[in-house]
A and B are shown apart, each in its own frame.
Chain A
Amino acid sequence: SAVISQKPSRDICQRGTSLTIQCQVDSQVTMMFWYRQQPGQSLTLIATANQGSEATYESGFVIDKFPISRPNLTFSTLTVSNMSPEDSSIYLCSVHGSGEETQYFGPGTRLLVL
């Protein structure tokens, strides 16, 4: 399985500000995924990030709020823009397993918005 790291591991932010989360993979992957894990709720896919094209967003998530970059095959960023306390959550990136229809996850970024 791929080794995935995320930065920062946690942060406390003020409402109205933005935070960019980085995800680094130790191998080249076609697709990277960003999920949100809100307290007491299931992980929910925010968007799929492909290198060289615009990210694909799931229903309920928009590019203005969660802009994504994918500059190469091992790296992606997710920005949480104009944050409110409702954005307090764990944000996770994931990648496909090699030859498998499953996904491996990074350690997550724990965000608290005050």
Chain B
Amino acid sequence: QKEVEQDPGPLSVPEGAIVSLNCTYSNSAFQYFMWYRQYSRKGPELLMYTYSSGNKEDGRFTAQVDKSSKYISLFIRDSQPSDSATYLCAMMRAGANNLFFGTGTRLTVIP
């Protein structure tokens, strides 16, 4: 079983839609949770960073962590064509350096 599972998509939505991206994980020791956005031929760009359970909002982006279910989500409101990219979830144990990534979900927002 992989440490982190993520639906690879692809996911296509119309402009303005609410997008929900999700990951599940198996290691209850994960404490730090991240979402990265990766445009084609670019490196991953940090979008959201949360510690332990709860919600965090930044503009059109909301990250949720449910540690009891080992489930994290990223919501994108009012999606734009510029949001078209691959979204990677990542997580890490406290005191560790190794980020564990999902395989990424490819999102296309259609104008």
Contacts and interface: CB of A to CB of B under 8 A. Distances in A.
Interface of A: 1, 4, 31, 33, 40-45, 48, 58, 92, 94, 96-97, 100-108, 110
A94 to B, nearest CB: 8
A108 B8 CA distance: 21
A101 B43 contact: no
7 contacts: A43-B101, A48-B97, A102-B32, A102-B46, A102-B49, A102-B92, A104-B46
B42 interface: yes
Contacts of B8: 40
A104 B42 CA distance: 13
Contacts of A102: 32, 34, 46, 49, 92
Given A42-B102, A44-B101, A100-B49, 15 more contacts: A40-B8, A42-B100, A43-B88, A43-B101, A45-B97, A45-B98, A45-B99, A97-B46, A102-B32, A102-B46, A102-B92, A103-B99, A104-B46, A105-B36, A105-B45
Nearest to A107: B43
B21 to A, nearest CB: 15
B92 A101 contact: yes
Max chain B C-beta neighbours (<10 A), residue from A40, A102, A104:
A102
B62 interface: no
Contacts of A44: 101
Interface residues of B, number: 28
B46 A1 contact: yes
B94 interface: yes
B61 to A, nearest CB: 15
Contacts of B101: 42-44
B4 interface: yes
Interface string B70-111: 000000000000000000101010100111111110000000
Contacts of A106: 43
A41 B92 CA distance: 18
A42 B98 contact: no
Interface in B30-52: 31-32, 34, 36, 41-46, 49, 51
